[in-house]
């Protein structure tokens, strides 16, 4: 993928995102066709599926040699990261989508031979597009995002994480998470991993921690973060693997190691 | 306070809120003058104080017989709820204000002889005004908010609460809160009590729980909730007392008792 090809893919993907976003907004006041997937809290709607299919059909048509990893199952099953891969979450934050009719996102990360080249997180109802190309910076709409503050301290940080970190879980002893919550300045829960990551890239919060996420939850947001200095990996500090579900710690570079160190004490 | 007087006070307060909001937005890109109050995490800025003083000065001038309870100390110390009382939080969500430059609110509740007559929650950066007069419904900008869904079940609810509910605290055994988090559909943390309450009134989330709040954190939002059927009180189900700091449970009427019952098991 040379820069000219990348620019063309970027422009095309962006136009598809706006088209899909329009479609979603137009349907927001209709019935959403809620099904339940593996459990009643794992909601999926007709619009999730339609939106993923919209992207998959267009990618197959325009870039038949590209691969796709998507939440709703219209993509491919991949065993390696060779070539160009689109990692797509058509609606990240489905519970917010259904319940709030806001605070959800379209997330797309495009990798070439394992390297994140293009990232998008589109806050559909707010009509805010976060976007990045490797080496060219990250943007919110037309505004370039500043590099993350390298003097940030853990005690002065706002951390995005859900409440399950403080319940019995497979990743970290909640007694350690309790100490962590009392150490940082504040904790928040948005309910969309993609928007949490966009908030980290924007410097609005300083890290996002998740017990278990799929590649499509984080691909777009991690590529954004790379452009402002954000560090992404799992709870042990291993680099992000775009083919695997894992825990996630995506953080301002000044506090990333401190978070890993803090949680290590309670690591299971 | 007759209806004509109330309407006049409502219109006047609304114009002051927009004026204060403009002032805050204009200053958002300047240095914020952060001080620390009782502890380093309890941030207060020059703008908090200026904004409260703005309201207090105007109320004194226009309504010298009214009383004021305000976060920043320019108001009165009251021992009863006689007469007309303005309960003001000039910037609710100071940490968001400083860190995110968004997701904070001006909150005003106006009571007459202990009864909430007028409520405002103004999302300053989103320019969304939630407003209500007793008996006339609650609105978000020009749109009237629907009555809350009386068929809502606890298991299908999204609950706003912070992470300290899951740490050692004086109100509820965190083991019970852990069960609670696993029982409801989802939990969220916005970081501004006023906006959490506006979200409950809007039906975007179904309850907001707080370990300890001052009257100014909740007055405006509770008055909004009354107009859509939302129930407000402390964690034991006692009615809200506008003169006291207390725990808070503000909820959709269909789940309010279920929340109180659930937490009772762990009540300290």
Q: What is the pLDDT of residues B124-175, one digit of tens each?
A: 999 999 999 999 999 999 999 999 999 999 999 999 999 999 999 999 999 9
- What is the model's pLDDT at position B186? 97
Token code pair at residue B230: 């939302």
B39 near A CB under 8 A: no
- What is the model's pLDDT at position A47? 87
- Whether residue B47 is predicted with pLDDT greater than 90 in this model: the reply is no
Q: What is the dihedral of CA A195, A197, A201, A202, to 10 degrees?
A: 30
- What is the model's pLDDT at position A252? 98
Catalytic: which of B217, B255, B259, B260?
B217
CB contact (8 A) between residue A189 and residue B189 = yes
Nearest CA in chain A to B93: A186
DSSP, residue by residue, A71-87: TTS-S---SS--SEEEE
Q: What is the CATH number of domain B154-264?
A: 3.40.190.80
Taking contacts as CB-CB distances below 8 angstroms, the residues of chain B near A173 are: none
Place of tokens 């997180």: A121
Instruction: List, for residues B186-205, the tens digit of each pLDDT value.
Output: 999 999 999 999 999 999 99
Nearest CA in chain A to B158: A99
- Whether residue B42 is predicted with pLDDT greater than 90 in this model: the reply is no
Q: Strands, DSSP E only, in A93-245?
A: 105-112, 115-123, 128-133, 138-140, 143-144, 158-160, 186-188, 207-213, 231-233
Return d(Cα A8, Cα A18) in angstroms, integer: 16
Catalytic: which of A48, A52, A72, A89?
A89
- Whether residue B249 is predicted with pLDDT greater than 80 in this model: the reply is yes
Summary mean pLDDT of chain B: 94
- Whether residue B40 is predicted with pLDDT greater than 80 in this model: the reply is no
- The ranges assigned to domains in chain B are 3-144, 154-264
- What is the model's pLDDT at position A148? 97
- What is the model's pLDDT at position A151? 96
Indicate the CATH number of B3-144 among 3.40.605.10, 3.30.540.10, 3.40.30.10, 3.50.50.60. 3.30.540.10
Nearest CA in chain B to A126: B126
User: Taking chain A (268 residues) in consecutive chunks of 10 residues, what is each chunk's mean pLDDT?
Assistant: 96 98 86 66 79 96 96 86 97 92 96 98 97 98 96 97 98 98 98 98 97 97 98 97 96 98 96
Beta strands B186-188 and B67-70: pairing type?
unpaired
- What is the model's pLDDT at position B10? 98
- What is the model's pLDDT at position A38? 64
CB contact (8 A) between residue B166 and residue A168 = no
% of chain B at pLDDT higher than 90: 85
Token code pair at residue B11: 């219109």
- Please say whether the beta carbons of A82 and A76 come within 8 A: no
Distance of CA A102 to the CA centre of its chain: 16
- What is the model's pLDDT at position B161? 98
């Amino acid at each position: 993928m040379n820069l000219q090809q990348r620019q063309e893919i970027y422009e095309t993907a962006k136009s598809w995102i706006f088209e899909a976003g329009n479609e979603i907004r137009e349907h927001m006041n209709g019935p959403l066709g809620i099904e339940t997937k593996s459990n009643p809290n794992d909601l999926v709607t007709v619009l999730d599926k339609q939106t993923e299919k919209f992207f998959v059909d267009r990618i197959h048509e325009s870039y038949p040699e590209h691969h796709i990893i998507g939440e709703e199952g219209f993509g491919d099953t991949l065993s390696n990261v060779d070539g160009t891969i689109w990692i797509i979450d058509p609606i990240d934050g489905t519970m917010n989508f259904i319940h709030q009719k806001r605070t959800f996102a379209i997330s797309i990360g495009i990798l070439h031979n394992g390297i994140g080249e293009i990232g998008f997180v589109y806050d559909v109802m707010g009509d805010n597009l976060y976007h990045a190309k490797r080496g060219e910076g990250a943007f919110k709409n037309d505004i370039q995002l500043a590099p993350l503050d390298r003097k940030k301290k853990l005690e002065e940080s706002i951390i995005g994480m859900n409440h399950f970190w403080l319940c019995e879980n497979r990743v970290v002893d909640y007694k350690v998470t309790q100490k962590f919550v009392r150490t940082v300045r504040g904790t928040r829960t948005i309910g969309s991993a993609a928007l949490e990551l966009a908030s980290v890239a924007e410097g609005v919060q300083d890290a996002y921690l998740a017990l278990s996420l799929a590649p499509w939850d984080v691909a777009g947001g991690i590529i954004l973060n790379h452009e402002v200095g954000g560090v992404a990996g799992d709870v042990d500090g291993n680099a992000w693997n775009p083919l695997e579900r894992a825990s996630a710690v995506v953080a301002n570079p000044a506090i990333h190691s401190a978070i890993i160190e803090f949680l290590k004490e309670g690591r299971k």
